[in-house]
Amino acid sequence: AVVSFVPFCNAVVRSSLLHVCPSAPLLTCVTDFEHSAAHCWIDKFDERTAVNHVIVAGTPALQAQARDLGYPPAHILCTSGMLVNPAFYDQDAPPFDEAITWASPPHPNAIDHNASDPNAPDP
């Protein structure tokens, strides 16, 4: 099996895999809670190339989106949520806004979109 965590490559990987190793399944592990135009995880089901393509969907919304894009039930692996490394739950980590204050300084050429513009009109 080939496991994909890179959705923008799925169509190419899927058709190539079908050509080179037609019996190998392709599993797309969606690591977002839903598919969207900004985070396109699920290609429309194609009966010619998606015969072995399985979508690992961790939310009911993703499962519905896969069905809406034509994936039959046998091609949707329904899970409950995502596995998250316990380190992400570290209680000693500072809150997000505090973490920003001790983060490394921005690159000298970076644009600070939060800085006030002295030439901006008054609100």
Tens digit of each residue's pLDDT (9 = 90 or more) over 69-110: 999 999 999 988 776 677 766 666 656 555 555 445 555 544
Q: Note the pLDDT of residue 105.
A: 54
Spatial CA neighbour of 60 closest among 33, 42, 37: 33
Task: Pinpoint the alpha helices (H) of 1-123.
Answer: 10-20, 60-68, 96-102
Q: Note the pLDDT of residue 60.
A: 92
68 vs 121: which has the higher pLDDT: 68
pLDDT in tens, 4-39: 988 888 888 999 999 999 999 999 998 888 888 877
Q: Note the pLDDT of residue 82.
A: 72
Spatial CA neighbour of 25 closest among 43, 7, 6, 10: 10
Mean of pLDDT values over 41-55:
92
Q: Note the pLDDT of residue 108.
A: 52
CB atoms within 10 A of CB 62: 22
The answer, yes or no, to whether residue 67 has pLDDT greater than 80, is yes
Q: Which sequence spans correspond to the domains of the chain?
A: 2-82
Tokens at 109, concatenated: 């050429």
Q: Note the pLDDT of residue 86.
A: 73
Q: Note the pLDDT of residue 73.
A: 96
